[in-house]
Chain A
Amino acid sequence: MLRTEDASKAVDLVRDALRFFRAGEPIVHRGPLVHADVPVLYLDFAIDRVHYDPRTGAPSPKGNPVHVRIEGDLRPDEIIESVEKALKEARVIDACEFRGPEDCWVVPVAWKSFIIMHVRVSADGSELIPDYGLTEEVRRHGV
C-alpha cells in the first residue's frame, strides 16, 4: 500500500539532491531538423534529459523537444551554461506520481512555469533511481 509519508520522503530526497544536479554534455540529434537534449547528471549517473530550445536559449517543457532548422552548429558551452542556470533556478514540485511497472515515485522538477524533468525515487522514498538508458547514452558519447 502506498503511503503519503513515502511520497513526501521522495519529494524531500529530490529537494536535497537538486543542488547537486549538473548539466552534462548536450546530445545533439542531427538531421534536416536538429534537436538538443541535455542530460542532467547526479554524481556519475544521468537522472533525466532536459529539452533545449535553441530559439529561446532556454529549456523547453518536458514532452516538447524542439526540432529546428539551424545554420552552423549549436554551441555546447552555451547550452550547458543555459541549463546549469535553469537548474539553479529550478524547484521541486511538492507532490509526485507513482509508476507501478517501475515500482518508483516520479518527482517533477520545474523551472519557472515549465516542468522540465522527472526524477525517479525508490518506492520507500530513500534512493534516487538513475535513468540507466540515458546514462548509457551519455557514456557512448564519451564521458
Chain B
Amino acid sequence: MARSSSRIMALPRRLGDTAFERARGFVRREWFLTILLLLYLVLALLNPSMVRNTPHLVDWRSLSLITALIMTSKGLELSGIFSRLAPGIVERAGGSEKRLMLYILPIIALSSAVIMNDTAMLVFIPLVVATAEVAGINVARAVTLSAIAANVGSALTPIGNPQNVVIWRRYGVSFWAFIVHMLPFFIAWVSLLLLFAMSIKERTIKVRTIPPVAVNLRLLVTSVLLLVMNVLLAETGFHWLALPVTVLVLLTVGREALWGFDWALLLTFAFIFVDFNELALLMGHARLQFPSSGVRLMLTSAGVSQVISNVPATVLLTSNSRPDWLPLTVGVNIGGTGLIIGSIANLIAVRIARIRLRDFHRYSIPYFLAALVMSALILLLFQ
C-alpha cells in the first residue's frame, strides 16, 4: 500500500467531534472530579455567595502539604525502588500463591504508610496483576486484598494518606503520637487481612522469578531527603515551606516526579475542600450535627466515607466542629475499605487491574464489616 494512501481514511471527521470527544474523555477519566464540579454548581445555585468565597473554602495549608507529599511519593515511585522489591517477593514466595500474598500484603501496608496509599497502588497493583495473570491465580482477590492493605497500611502514619494529613495538620498531633495511637488498629487490621490471605488454598504458581527494573539513584536520594524534610517542616509548623521547597528541589534534580504528577488530582482535592466545607456550612445552618466522640463517631465517619469517600468525609466532619481525632481517624481510614467509593486508592486499583466491581466487593465488604467490629472493640477497650 502506498504510504500516502495509508494515512487517510475516506470517512470525514465532523468539526464538533474533537471538543465533544475530549470532553467525553475527560468525564470518563476524571469522573470523580466531574461529580465534584457538578456538586459545586449545585451548591453555587443554592448559595450564590459561595462563588465569591471559594478561595476561602480551600484548606490551602493542608492542600499544599498533601501536594508536596504526593510529589515526593511520585519521586520515590519513579525511582523504581519499590518495583525493585518485586523480584525478591516473587522469589521468596517460592511458587506458592498463599506465601506470595502473605509476603506482599504487609509490604504494601508498610509502603503505603510512607508513600501514600494512592501511589502504593500505582506501584504494587501492576506487579500483583502481572504475577496473578501469568500465574493463573485469582486477580480480583489479589487486587482487592492489595487495595485493602494500602488503605489500612496508610492509616499508620500522618503522611500515609490525604485524610491523615488533614487531621494531622488540623489537630496538631505529633508525628510519633499519631503512630503510637494508630498502631493497635494497624496491627489488628493487617492481622485480619492476613487471616483473609491465609484462607487462600495452597497451590503452586508458575512464576518463580521476575526481571528487575533499574533504580534511579538520583531520584531515590532526592525523594527520601524531601520526605524527611517535609515531615520535619510539618512537625515544626513550617508546612507552608514544604511545597515551594519540594517544587524547587524537584525542578532542579528530579523533574520526572513533577512532569509525572497528576495535576487533576490536585484540582480534585481543591474541590473536595470547597464542596464539603460548603456542605458542612449548610448542614450547620440546618443544625445537623455528627457525633463528636467514641464509637458513634467512628461508626459515623466510616459510614459517611462509604457514601462520599474518606477524604470528603474528613473535610465534612471537621469543617464546623472538632470531634475527637482518634475515633475520626479510625473511622475514615477503615471507611476507605468496603465500597469502592471509600477511597481513591480503590478506584486506582480497580482501574489499573480492570476487575469487575462485583468481584472487588466480594472481598472488600466482608473485610470492612469485620474490621469495623474489631475497631469498635479496640476503641471501647482504650476508652
Contact = CB atoms under 8 A, between A and B. Distances in A.
A54 B13 CA distance: 15
A72 B21 CA distance: 8
Contact of B214 (A30, A33, A129): A129
B211 interface: yes
Interface string A75-103: 00000000000000000000000000000
A28 B10 CA distance: 19
B123 A142 contact: no
Given A44-B127, A45-B213, A143-B351, 10 more contacts: A16-B210, A30-B22, A41-B126, A43-B213, A44-B122, A44-B123, A55-B9, A136-B78, A139-B74, A140-B263
A-B complex: 6 closest residue pairs judged by Cβ atoms:
A136-B260, A139-B260, A20-B130, A127-B214, A136-B259, A17-B211
A127 B237 CA distance: 42
A63 to B, nearest CB: 12
Contacts of A58: none
Interface residues of A, number: 41
Interface of A: 13, 16-17, 19-20, 22, 28, 30-34, 41-45, 54-55, 66-73, 122, 126-130, 132, 135-136, 139-143
A140 B348 contact: no
A69 B13 contact: yes
A68 B5 CA distance: 10
A73 B24 contact: yes
Interface of B: 6-14, 17-18, 21-22, 24-25, 29-30, 74, 77-78, 80, 82-83, 86, 122-127, 129-131, 133-134, 209-214, 216, 256, 259-265, 348, 351-352
Contacts of A135: 78, 256, 260
A72 B18 CA distance: 9
A128 B211 contact: yes
Contact of A69 (B8, B25, B30, B259): B8
A41 B125 CA distance: 12
Contacts of A19: 134
Contacts of A20: 130-131, 134, 210-211
Contact of A142 (B29, B86, B210, B212): B29
B282 to A, nearest CB: 30
A76 B185 CA distance: 41
Contacts, number: 121
29 contacts: A16-B211, A20-B210, A22-B126, A32-B13, A42-B213, A43-B127, A44-B83, A44-B125, A55-B6, A67-B7, A68-B8, A69-B8, A69-B12, A71-B11, A71-B13, A72-B17, A127-B211, A128-B211, A128-B212, A128-B213, A129-B213, A129-B214, A130-B80, A130-B213, A132-B78, A139-B74, A142-B29, A142-B262, A143-B352
Given A16-B209, A55-B9, A142 B260 contact: no
B259 A127 contact: no
Nearest to A139: B260
A143 B210 CA distance: 22
A127 B260 contact: no
A130 B7 CA distance: 30
Contacts of B124: 44
Given A30-B21, A45-B80, A132-B78, A143 B122 contact: yes
Contacts of A16: 209-211
A19 B77 CA distance: 23
Nearest to B212: A127
Contacts of A43: 83, 86, 123, 126-127, 130, 213
A136 B216 CA distance: 14
Given A13-B211, A142-B29, A68 B259 contact: no
A58 to B, nearest CB: 13
A71 B16 CA distance: 11
A43 B13 CA distance: 37
Contacts of A13: 211
Contacts of B263: 140
B34 to A, nearest CB: 12
A41 B260 CA distance: 15
